[in-house]
A = this chain, B = another copy of it.
Amino acid sequence: MRDLIEMGIMAKEASVETAKLSTPQKNKLLLNAAQALLDNMDTVLLANKEDVDNAIAGGIKGAFIDRLTLDKSRIEGMAGGLRQVASLPDPIGEVLSMNTMDNGLIIGKKRVPMGVIGIIFEARPNVTADAFGLCLKAGSATILRGGKEALKTNMAIVEIFRNSIKSQGYSEDIVQILEDTSRETAKQMMQLKGYIDVLIPRGGSGLIQSVVNNSTIPVIETGTGNCHVFVDKSAKLDDAINIVINAKTQRPGVCNACESLFVHESIADTFIPMVSKALMAKNVEIRGDKNFVEKVDGVVPATEEDWGTEYEDYIISARVVKNVDEAIELIRRYSTHHSECIVTEDYTNAQKFLNEVDSACVYVNASTRFTDGEQFGFGAEIGISTQKLHARGPMGLKELTTTKYIIYGSGQIRE
């Protein structure tokens, strides 16, 4: 196995090449990688079967196994994802501004590749293809470190990409994967400053916290989401029910699902029974404040811990608030600053909520489930940033780039 420094050096060298690739060259590499994946489907499925069998033998079950398992249609989905990335506009080369200064200097700001992007993720093989595709289209080389349970699958996929790239005369080190999935090696990867330009963790909060704490490389933190829906006094109650049900139950295991419901006190008597009935019909457990507990049979009393919990499950915390200000204050206290929604017909409250809630995505009268690169029109996403630096909210191709200043002079010196 290559050691990490060597991988870093190879990635840096490959990144010089990827940065120079034209849009058609990158697109061809992506389309050929997609085709290679389909042509070698059996190899991937075989490797994946080994991974899945090992995981099951190791006592792992449920959603984890589902995410780990590939079949024909999932591999076709991965290939389709690569084709879609090929069809997206190339972010590289865009000139964001160009100004002539008084001294005649022409100063331009241009979108350029990051260089080498490190992605640390869990046992979800689809991330392997996604991350490779997006990073390549953004002009960067990639070093991947996936979850150990998916190692054979990931290595098979990466090997297919590398062979495809190499057969076209380019450096296969555009994409590399760590064969050693120990925590120790992951930590070493987080210290590859000078070789990796940005590190993006994708996964649960434990993984993300470990990267944030250990990395000396700049990190884009992707998101845990304790998302809130606040139903204001003036809300259209049918819309409110639709939004709460959609935000909670359309896909409860994801970061943009609603975890906490706030209801304005003036509509508590009417709305609490309505929304509770609708939630319970979808098998959602409600952990409520005393208002909910008193008004609805079967509501579990919420503990302080519930208000800060991202369930990612058919559970919701729920409480009554006095007004929009209390809703905003509680969101400030408990939110992970991902996505929050107000359901209201009150203009001033809508504007106040939009202005004062300090989250990546703030909604009026729409489900928090829309926080997603495709829904935002980016075509694809590498994750959802919950930090304020560099990118906030869904990250598409542009968020995987940086800029540089290019300055055209004619002999200017500084006085």
Copies of this subunit: 2
Tier of interface size on chain A: 35 or more
Q: Are A387 and B218 closer than 8 Å at their CB atoms? A: yes
Asked whether A50 is an interface residue with its Cβ less than 8 Å from the other chain, the reply is: no
With the chains together, A313 CA to B402 CA distance in Å?
A: 31
Q: List residues of chain B with CB within 8 A of the CB of A197.
A: 388-389
Instruction: Tell whether, in the assembled complex, residue B409 and residue A365 are in contact, meaning their CB atoms are under 8 Å apart.
Output: yes
Measured in the bound complex, the distance between the Cα atoms of B107 and A81 in whole Å is 24
Known A-B contacts A246-B413, A377-B99, A407-B370; the reply to A198 vs B388 at CB < 8 A is yes
Chain B contacts of A326 at CB under 8 A?
none
User: Is A411 in the interface zone, CB < 8 Å from B?
Assistant: yes
Residues B361 and A411 in contact, CB atoms below 8 Å apart = no
Residue from A107, A220, A377 having most chain B Cβ neighbours under 10 A: A107
CB pair A370–B105 under 8 Å, yes or no, is yes
Partner of A213, one of B216, B354, B387: B216
Contact in complex: A212, B236 (CB < 8 Å): no
A402-B392 contact given A370-B407, A377-B101, A407-B366, CB 8 Å threshold:
yes
15 contacts between A and B (CB under 8 A): A101-B376, A107-B376, A218-B218, A218-B388, A220-B389, A243-B411, A246-B414, A354-B406, A361-B404, A366-B409, A366-B412, A370-B412, A370-B414, A389-B389, A392-B402
Q: What 7 A-B pairs come out closest when comparing CB atoms? A: A366-B409, A246-B413, A388-B402, A390-B390, A369-B414, A239-B411, A218-B389
